[in-house]
């Protein structure tokens, strides 16, 4: 296995804390916030993260496939979640301690509930506005009502973090070697 060469391309407006474990070829877009103690491992292939995402503590984003793992804009990865999905769209919410397998592709406006383990046996693409909840990972389709307010809230959340995090945490700047 070829050794993992670190290559980080972090936008100047992104806020990435010093304590984050990054490995491999990672691109982080504008306005994205990565909390301390998050983990982004691009082991086999590169990871591209869009703008406005919030990756909280303990979140683990792993790419074990050779293809590029693309994460869209305005996503929220809550504390302790683990995402291996090769495609994540925009405006999704992966709640606390949820685990998403690499066979699942997530489109936009989806919500994976807290603690949910989503392991489909074969490759699957979630429709837009799907909500997965409950211990048995039941699904239903959200009507989309309230999404404007939710995106509003997320932008406010990101703005607040962008202001507060640098005051209390050291930031990692630029490209790693």
Partner 1 sequence: MAPKIEYYCPCLSESPHPPPPNRPSSSYSFHPLHNLFFCEECDAVRCNRCVSVEVSGYYCPNCLFEVPSASVRAEKNRCARNCFLCPNCRNTLTVVPSDPPEDVDSRMSPIVSTTLGEPPFFLYCNHCRWDSAEVGITFEKPTGLAAQLQKFEDSAPESLEFERLKEHFEPFLRASSSSSALPSASSHHVHTNPITAAASSALARDIPGVGKYNPLSRSRVGREKGAHRQEYPDYKSRVEVGTALSGEADVEFLRHLETVSQVAALEQRWTNSWVSPLSASDLKPLRIPLQSKKSKRCPSCRHILIKPEQKAQSVRFKIKLVAANYLPAIAVTLPHAQAAIEMLKRTSKTTSAAAQAEEQQAAGALIAGHSYSFHLAFTNPLYDPIQIRLAKAIAPAQTAEGDEAAERARRSTFQIQLPSAAFPVGAFAEAWEYDDEDEAMFLDDDGMEVVEARGKKGKDGRGKTRSVGIVEKRANVTIVSGEVLIPKEARGDVKFNMLVSYTYRSDDPEPSEEAQTGTPSRSHGANKGPEMKNFSFYTVVDLGSIMYREEPKLTADL
Site for partner 1 in 56-95 (CB under 8 A): none
Tell me the closest approach of the beta carbon of residue 108 to partner 1, in angstroms.
13
Segment contacting partner 1 by CB under 8 A, of 30-38, 39-47, 55-63, 127-135? 127-135
Pick from 1, 66, 149, 168: which binds partner 1 (CB under 8 A)? 149
Name every residue whose Cβ is closer than 8 Å to that of residue 1 and which is 6 or more positions away in sequence: none
How far does CA 127 lie from the centroid of its chain?
Answer: 18
Site for partner 1 in 99-118 (CB under 8 A): 111, 113
Which residue, 15, 39, 10, is CA-closest to 163?
A: 15
Going edge to edge, which strands form the sheet with 69-71?
7-10, 25-28, 47-49, 69-71, 87-88
Nearer to partner 1, 44 or 131 (CB): 131
Segment contacting partner 1 by CB under 8 A, of 9-17, 18-26, 75-83, 140-148? 140-148
Euclidean distance between the first and final Cα of the chain, in Å? 20
Pick from 13, 64, 119, 134: which binds partner 1 (CB under 8 A)? 134
Tell me the closest approach of the beta carbon of residue 145 to partner 1, in angstroms.
5
Give the dihedral of Cα atoms 156, 96, 175, 22; nearest 10 deg: 170
By CB under 8 A, residue 133 contacts partner 1: yes
How far does CA 79 lie from the centroid of its chain?
Answer: 11
By CB under 8 A, residue 140 contacts partner 1: yes
Tell me which long-range contacts 93-99 makes (C-beta under 8 A, separation of at least 24).
94/59
By CB under 8 A, residue 143 contacts partner 1: yes
Instruction: Give contact residues for partner 1 (rule: CB under 8 A).
Output: 111, 113, 131, 133-134, 138, 140, 142-143, 145-149, 152, 155-156
């Amino acid at each position: 296995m070829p050794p993992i060469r670190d290559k980080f391309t972090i936008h100047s407006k992104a806020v990435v804390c010093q304590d984050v474990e990054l490995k491999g070829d990672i691109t982080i877009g504008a306005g994205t916030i990565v909390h301390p103690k998050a983990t982004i491992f691009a082991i086999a292939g590169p990871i591209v993260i869009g703008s406005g995402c919030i990756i909280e503590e303990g979140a683990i984003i792993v790419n074990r496939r050779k293809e590029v793992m693309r994460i869209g804009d305005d996503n929220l990865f809550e504390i302790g979640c683990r995402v291996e999905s090769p495609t994540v769209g925009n405006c999704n919410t992966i709640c606390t301690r949820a685990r998403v397998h690499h066979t699942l592709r997530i489109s936009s406006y989806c919500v994976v509930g807290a603690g949910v383990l989503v392991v489909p046996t074969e490759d699957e693409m979630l429709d837009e506005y799907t909500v997965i909840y409950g211990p048995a990972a039941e699904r239903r389709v959200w009507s989309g009502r309230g999404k404007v307010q939710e995106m509003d809230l997320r932008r406010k959340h990101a703005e607040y973090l962008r202001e507060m995090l640098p005051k209390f945490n050291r930031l990692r700047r630029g490209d790693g070697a």
